[in-house]
C-alpha cells in the first residue's frame, strides 16, 4: 500500500500540467443538484444525514417492507441475502456472511439501504426510516439489545462492527505472483493422472429439453390467440408498465409465488386465494370479507395500495398515470384468459 | 431441421449421423444436396429492409446467453452467461455479452441522462450526453470479466459447459472518452486520491476506484463494437476499467465523486472480497489475473466427427497485459504443447488460440495454461486453493480440465 501511495504522488506530479487547460465543457452543478445525488455515506461518517430512528420503529418498517425477502428476523427467504447471524462462522467450512458477521462498517448498511432498498422501490425511505431499519438490523444481530435503542447521526460512529479488522489490502503480488511468475514444465511433467472430481456427479447444469421448448411455443401460441380479443396495443403498453411489478409478481406458465403472489388468472379472482402464498393479515381479512379482484377493485388497489388496504405487505407506492393504469388493467386481463 | 430443435437434440443428431452415413458423404448416386436442385437454389430469398436491423440466421437460435436459475433469488438481480463455445476470434457480439444487473437493466432516453462530477474538485460540473460527445475519443478492445466468473467451480467441478464455467466475460471494442479528460474539466484537488463511480439504475451501483487507475486508462464509453451500448450494458454511458473486475465498470454512469478515502460500499466489502482460510478477507482485489479456457471441444461442444484431424481452440486473457503464450495439454498435463495464437494481441484483451491435432479416438484430458506479459503462468485450482482455502470463490483463475471420452463427449472434471 505504501508503494501504491508513492505511485499516486508521482502520478499527481506528472499529470498536474495537463490539468492547466480544459475544454470548458459542461456547466456548474447547483447546490441542490449536488445535494440530491451526493447521498453516499463513508465509514468516517461523512454523508450521514441528521436524523434518527428506534429499533421498534425499524421492526415495524422491516416487517412491512423487507421481511418478504429477508425474513422477519433477517434470516432470509429462498436465496435472498441473509442479514443476521453467522457469528464466528467466517473460518468454518460453510461461512455465513451477514451484516453482523462480515460487514466491516455500519455506514455501508445505511448507504446501501438508502440507495437500493426496498428492492423494486429504491430511494423511497426517509432518512429516519433508514436509521430505524439499521437500528433493527443491529438488534437482530445482537449488536444492540435494547429495543428502545435509537440510532442517530449523533451516536452512529460509536457503533463498531465485529469484523472491522477482518480485511486487508490485496496481497496477491507478494503471496501469489511471486510463486506463479515462473518457468512452466513442458514435457514429462507428471507420471500419472487421475480424475478426482466430476461435474456429472454434482449434476446441477441447467438442461434444455425438447419438451420444455415445445411447452414454451405452446404458451406463446396460446397467448397470441387470447390477446386477439383484447386491445393489443394496450396490452403491449401494459407489458411495459408491468416491468414495475415483475420483480415481485411472476406471470406465465409455471409462475411461482415470489415476493408477491403470482398473478396468473388474477382478473375477477377472489382476493387472497393464491395457494401457498403468505398473505398479510390485512389481505386475509379482505379475502374473508369477500373481496374480488374485478376491474374497479384492481384500479383502486393499484392506484395506491395502502389507501385501500392499509396494512398490505405490497410496498409499491401506486401507479400515478391514467394511461399506465388502463394499460396494466388490459395486461392483467390478457394474462387471466 | 425443425424450428424447435434444441442444442441437445442437435448434438444427438450429430452422433446419429456419425454412426451411420457422415454428413456430406456421397452415396452411389451422389449427395442429393448436390445432385438435386434445392429450394434456395431456385426461389428468391428475402429482400433488403426485411430485417432493417440484421439478426443471425434462424439456424443459429441455439447461440444465446443462458442463465443458471438456482444461482440467484430473482431474474431481475441476476446474471447470465456468454456462449463462449459458439464464438471464434476475439470479439464478443453485443447481443451475446453476458448480463449482470442488480436492479434490472434500466432503459431510458439518453436526452434524460446527466453525468455529475462532485467532491474534491475545483468546480462541480454537470454534463449532458451532448457535452460528452464533444470530448476527444479513443477506441480500445478490452475484456470485461466478472470477479465471480468460475466462482461456482471453486470447491470442485460443478457445471458442464464453458458457457457456465467461464461465460461471465466478454471482449468488445469501446469508443469513449479518457476519464482523465473529463476529470480535468472539473480539476481534481491535490487530496483527491479516490473516485466513487455511481450508476443511475435502481441499484444505484457504486464502487471506489483509486485515482491512479482513473487517470491511467479508464474510459467513459458510449459505443461497443461501433454501435451504442446495449441497454443491458449501461446505455447510454458506462465506465470502462481495463483489466479490473467487471463490477467496477459502472453502467448507466451518472456521477463521479472525488474523495480522499475509499467509500467501502456494499460491493467492495460484503461482496467481491476474498474470504480466506483464517476467516480474514482480502479486499480491493481489483486486477483479474491471467486465465484461459478451451472453448472447443467442451461439454456443450463435443467432438462429433470421430478420429482424425481435430481443431482445439480457446481464449486467454490477463488484466496485467497481453498473452504472449498459451500451452495446451491433451493428456492431463503430462506433456504440454505451445498453442498458436491468431488475431490481434492487445493489452487487457482476449486472445484466441488454436491447437490442431490428429485425434486417435482415445480418451483425452484437455487443459490450457496462459502466460501473460509479466511472466505469470496460470496456476492450477489446487495451487490457488492451497493459498486461499475453500471459501474464497471470487477471482478463480485456475486451470480448467475437460475429460473427453472415446465418443467425443466432454465433461467438466478435476484431476490430480
Determine contact: B7 vs chain A, CB below 8 A. yes
Q: pLDDT at position B339, please?
A: 98
Half-sphere exposure of A259 (CA within 13 A, CB side): 29
Determine contact: A242 vs chain B, CB below 8 A. no
Determine contact: B150 vs chain A, CB below 8 A. no
Residue B199: partners with Cβ closer than 8 Å, 6 or more residues away:
B205, B206, B234, B250, B251, B252, B253, B254
Contacts of A167 in chain B (CB under 8 A): 269, 273, 280-283
Ranges of chain A whose pLDDT falls below 50: 1-2, 5, 8-20, 209-228
Determine contact: B390 vs chain A, CB below 8 A. yes
pLDDT tens for each residue of B31-77: 999 999 999 999 999 999 999 999 999 999 999 999 998 888 888 89
Contacts of B416 in chain A (CB under 8 A): 192-194, 196
Q: Using a pLDDT cut of 70, give the percent of chain B over it.
A: 94
Yes or no, beta carbons of B333 and A189 under 8 Å apart: yes
> What is the rounded CA–CA span in Å between residue A156 and residue A131?
9
Half-sphere exposure of A290 (CA within 13 A, CB side): 0
Instruction: Write the DSSP symbol of residue A3.
Output: H
Q: Is the pLDDT of residue B273 over 60?
A: yes
Q: pLDDT at position A5, please?
A: 47
Assess contact for A306 and A321: CB atoms under 8 A: no
What DSSP line would sit under B59-75, residue for residue? GGTT-S-EE-GGGSS-S
Of B124, B159, B202, the CB nearest to A28: B124
How far CA A277 is from CA of A145, A261, A263, A290, B74, in Å, comes to: 32, 6, 11, 18, 17
Residue A165: partners with Cβ closer than 8 Å, 6 or more residues away:
A104
In the three-class reduction of DSSP (H, G, I as helix; E, B as strand; rest coil), residue A302 is classed as helix
How many other β-carbons are positioned within 10 Å of the β-carbon of residue A292?
14
Yes or no, beta carbons of A177 and B257 under 8 Å apart: no
pLDDT tens for each residue of A226-278: 434 677 788 878 887 887 787 678 888 778 777 788 888 888 888 888 887 87
Q: Using a pLDDT cut of 90, give the percent of chain B over it.
A: 91
Half-sphere exposure of B267 (CA within 13 A, CB side): 25
Contacts of B215 in chain A (CB under 8 A): 11, 15
| Arch. (CATH architecture) of B69-282 | Alpha-Beta Complex (3.90)
Q: Is the pLDDT of residue B8 over 70?
A: no
Q: Which residue has the higher pLDDT, B76 or B231?
A: B231
- Nearest-Cα distance to chain A for B112, in Å, is 15
B/e letters for A263-276, b = 16+ CB within 10 Å, e = fewer, are bbebbeeebbebee
> What is the rounded CA–CA span in Å between residue A58 and residue A93?
33
> What is the rounded CA–CA span in Å between residue B335 and residue B332?
8
Order across the sheet with B281-283: list the strands.
A167-169, B281-283, B274-275
pLDDT tens for each residue of B146-199: 999 999 999 999 999 999 999 999 999 999 999 999 999 999 999 999 999 999
Q: pLDDT at position A148, please?
A: 96
- Nearest-Cα distance to chain B for A289, in Å, is 33
Determine contact: B231 vs chain A, CB below 8 A. no
Yes or no, beta carbons of A167 and B282 under 8 Å apart: yes
- Nearest-Cα distance to chain A for B170, in Å, is 21
pLDDT tens for each residue of B334-372: 999 999 999 999 999 999 999 999 999 999 999 999 999
3-state helix, strand and coil shares in percent for chain A, rounded to the nearest 5: 45, 5, 50
B/e letters for A194-203, b = 16+ CB within 10 Å, e = fewer, are ebebbbeebe
Q: pLDDT at position B162, please?
A: 97
Q: pLDDT at position A240, please?
A: 78
How many other β-carbons are positioned within 10 Å of the β-carbon of residue A280?
17
Q: pLDDT at position A138, please?
A: 98
CA–chain centroid gap for B258, Å, is 30
Q: pLDDT at position B23, please?
A: 59
> What is the rounded CA–CA span in Å between residue B277 and residue B259?
33
User: Which CATH number describes the domain made up of B291-413?
Assistant: 2.60.40.650
Q: pLDDT at position B26, please?
A: 65
How far CA B218 is from CA of A168, A178, B181, B211, in Å, comes to: 25, 27, 10, 10
Query: Which pTM value belongs to this model?
Result: 0.82
> What is the rounded CA–CA span in Å between residue B359 and residue B378?
26
Of A80, A197, A204, the CB nearest to B73: A80
Q: Are strands B227-228 and B219-224 parallel, antiparallel or unpaired?
A: antiparallel
Residue B28 binned pLDDT confidence (cut-offs 50, 70, 90): confident
Q: pLDDT at position B11, please?
A: 46
Q: Which residue has the higher pLDDT, A320 or B129?
A: B129
How far CA A163 is from CA of A113, A176, A293, B194, B383, in Å, comes to: 20, 25, 49, 24, 28
Residue B24 binned pLDDT confidence (cut-offs 50, 70, 90): low
Assess contact for A123 and A115: CB atoms under 8 A: yes
Yes or no, beta carbons of A202 and B158 under 8 Å apart: yes
Yes or no, beta carbons of A40 and B206 under 8 Å apart: yes
Mean pLDDT along residues B308-336? 98
Q: At what angle do helices A322-334 and A210-227 cross, to 10 degrees?
A: 120
What DSSP line would sit under A123-186, residue for residue? T-S-HHHHHHHHHHHHHHTTS---TT-EEETTTGGGPPPTTTTSEEE--HIIIIIHHHBS----
Domain spans of chain B?
69-282, 291-413
| Optimal mutation site among A79, A91, A94, A199, interface B, most CBs of chain B within 10 A | A199
- Nearest-Cα distance to chain A for B91, in Å, is 26
Average pLDDT, chain B: 94
Residue B392 binned pLDDT confidence (cut-offs 50, 70, 90): very high
Yes or no, beta carbons of A198 and B371 under 8 Å apart: no
Residue A293: partners with Cβ closer than 8 Å, 6 or more residues away:
A266, A267, A268, A269, A270, A271, A301
> What is the rounded CA–CA span in Å between residue A147 and residue A127?
19
| Optimal mutation site among B62, B76, B269, interface A, most CBs of chain A within 10 A | B269
Of A4, A44, A199, the CB nearest to B412: A199
Q: Which residue in A has a C-alpha nearest to residue B284's C-alpha?
A: A170
> What is the rounded CA–CA span in Å between residue B6 and residue B3?
9
| Optimal mutation site among A118, A195, A242, A255, interface B, most CBs of chain B within 10 A | A195
Determine contact: B187 vs chain A, CB below 8 A. yes
Q: pLDDT at position A19, please?
A: 43
With helix as H, strand as E and coil as C, how does B388-414 read? HCCCCCCCCCCCCEEEECCCCCEEEEE
- Nearest-Cα distance to chain B for A37, in Å, is 8
Q: pLDDT at position A259, please?
A: 74
Amino acid at each position: 500500500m505504501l508503494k501504491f501511495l508513492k505511485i499516486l504522488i508521482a502520478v499527481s506530479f506528472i499529470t498536474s500540467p495537463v490539468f492547466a487547460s480544459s475544454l470548458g465543457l459542461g456547466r456548474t452543478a447547483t447546490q441542490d443538484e449536488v445535494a440530491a445525488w451526493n447521498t453516499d455515506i463513508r465509514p468516517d461518517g461523512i454523508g450521514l444525514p441528521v436524523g434518527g430512528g428506534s429499533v421498534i420503529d425499524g421492526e415495524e418498517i422491516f416487517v412491512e417492507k423487507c421481511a418478504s425477502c429477508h425474513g422477519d428476523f433477517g434470516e432470509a427467504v429462498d436465496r435472498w441475502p441473509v442479514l443476521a447471524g453467522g457469528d464466528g462462522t467466517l473460518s468454518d467450512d460453510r461461512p455465513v456472511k451477514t451484516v453482523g458477521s462480515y460487514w466491516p462498517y455500519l455506514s455501508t448498511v445505511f448507504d446501501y439501504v438508502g440507495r437500493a432498498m426496498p428492492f423494486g422501490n429504491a430511494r423511497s425511505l426517509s432518512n429516519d426510516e433508514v436509521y430505524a431499519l439499521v437500528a433493527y438490523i443491529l438488534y437482530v444481530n445482537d449488536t444492540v439489545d435494547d429495543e428502545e435503542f435509537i440510532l442517530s447521526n449523533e451516536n452512529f460512529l460509536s457503533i463498531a462492527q465485529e469484523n472491522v479488522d477482518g480485511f486487508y489490502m490485496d496481497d496477491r503480488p507478494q503471496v501469489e505472483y511471486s510463486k506463479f511468475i515462473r518457468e512452466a514444465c513442458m514435457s514429462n511433467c507428471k507420471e500419472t493422472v487421475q480424475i478426482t472430481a466430476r461435474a456429472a456427479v454434482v449434476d446441477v447444469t441447467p438442461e434444455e429439453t425438447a419438451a420444455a421448448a415445445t411447452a414454451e411455443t405452446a404458451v406463446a401460441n396460446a397467448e397470441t390467440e387470447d390477446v386477439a380479443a383484447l386491445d393489443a396495443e394496450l396490452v403491449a403498453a401494459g407489458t411495459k408498465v408491468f416491468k414495475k411489478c415483475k420483480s415481485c409478481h411472476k406471470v406465465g406458465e409455471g409462475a411461482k409465488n415470489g415476493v408477491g403472489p403470482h398473478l396468473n388468472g388474477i382478473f375477477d379472482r377472489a382476493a387472497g386465494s393464491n395457494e401457498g402464498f403468505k398473505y398479510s393479515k390485512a389481505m386475509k381479512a379482505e379475502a374473508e370479507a369477500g373481496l374480488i379482484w374485478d376491474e374497479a377493485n384492481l384500479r383502486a388497489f393499484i392506484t395506491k395500495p395502502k389507501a385501500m388496504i392499509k396494512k398490505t405487505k405490497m410496498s409499491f407506492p401506486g401507479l400515478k398515470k391514467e394511461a399506465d393504469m388502463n394499460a396494466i388493467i388490459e395486461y392483467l386481463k390478457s394474462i387471466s384468459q | 431441421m425443425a424450428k424447435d430443435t434444441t442444442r441437445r437434440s442437435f448434438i444427438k443428431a450429430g452422433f446419429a449421423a456419425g454412426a451411420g452415413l457422415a454428413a456430406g458423404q456421397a452415396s452411389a448416386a451422389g449427395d442429393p444436396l448436390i445432385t438435386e436442385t434445392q429450394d434456395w437454389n431456385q426461389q428468391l430469398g428475402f429482400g433488403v429492409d426485411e430485417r432493417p436491423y440484421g439478426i443471425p440466421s434462424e439456424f443459429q437460435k441455439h447461440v444465446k446467453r443462458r442463465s443458471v436459475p438456482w444461482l440467484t433469488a430473482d431474474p431481475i438481480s441476476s446474471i447470465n452467461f456468454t456462449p463462449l463455445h459458439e464464438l471464434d476470434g476475439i470479439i464478443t457480439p453485443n447481443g451475446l455479452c453476458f448480463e449482470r444487473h442488480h436492479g434490472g437493466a434500466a432503459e431510458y432516453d439518453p436526452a434524460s441522462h446527466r453525468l455529475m462530477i462532485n467532491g474534491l474538485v475545483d468546480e462541480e460540473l454537470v454534463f449532458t450526453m451532448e457535452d460528452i460527445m464533444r470530448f476527444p475519443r479513443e477506441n480500445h478492445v478490452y475484456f470485461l470479466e466478472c470477479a465471480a466468473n468460475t466462482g461456482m467451480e471453486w470447491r470442485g467441478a460443478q457445471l458442464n459447459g464453458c458457457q457456465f464455467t467461464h461465460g461471465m466475460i466478454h471482449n468488445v471494442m469501446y469508443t469513449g472518452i479518457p476519464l482523465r479528460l473529463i476529470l480535468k474539466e472539473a480539476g481534481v484537488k491535490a487530496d483527491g486520491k479516490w473516485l466513487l463511480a455511481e450508476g443511475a439504475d435502481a441499484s444505484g451501483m457504486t464502487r471506489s476506484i483509486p485515482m491512479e487507475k482513473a487517470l491511467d486508462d479508464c474510459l467513459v464509453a458510449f459505443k461497443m463494437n461501433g454501435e451504442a451500448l446495449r441497454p443491458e450494458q449501461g446505455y447510454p454511458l458506462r465506465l470502462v476499467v481495463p483489466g479490473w473486475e467487471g463490477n467496477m465498470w459502472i453502467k448507466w454512469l451518472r456521477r463521479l465523486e472525488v474523495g480522499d478515502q475509499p467509500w467501502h460500499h456494499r460491493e467492495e466489502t460484503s461482496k467481491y472480497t476474498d474470504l480466506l482460510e483464517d476467516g480474514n478477507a482480502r479486499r480491493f482485489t481489483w486486477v483479474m489475473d491471467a486465465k484461459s479456457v478451451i472453448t472447443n471441444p467442451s461439454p456443450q461442444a463435443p467432438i462429433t466427427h470421430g478420429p482424425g484431424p481435430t481443431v482445439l481452440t480457446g481464449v486467454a486473457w490477463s488484466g496485467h497485459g497481453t498473452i504472449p503464450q498459451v500451452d495446451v495439454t491433451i493428456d492431463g498435463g503430462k506433456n504440454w504443447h505451445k498453442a498458436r495464437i491468431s488475431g490481434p494481441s492487445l493489452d487487457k484483451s482476449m486472445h484466441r488460440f488454436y491447437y490442431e491435432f490428429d485425434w486417435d479416438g482415445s480418451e483425452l484430458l484437455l487443459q490450457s495454461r496462459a502466460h501473460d506479459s509479466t511472466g505469470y503462468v496460470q496456476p492450477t485450482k489446487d495451487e490457488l486453493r492451497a493459498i486461499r482455502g475453500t471459501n474464497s470463490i471470487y477471482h478463480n483463475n485456475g486451470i480448467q480440465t475437460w475429460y473427453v471420452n472415446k465418443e467425443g463427449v466432454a465433461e467438466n472434471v478435476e484431476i490430480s
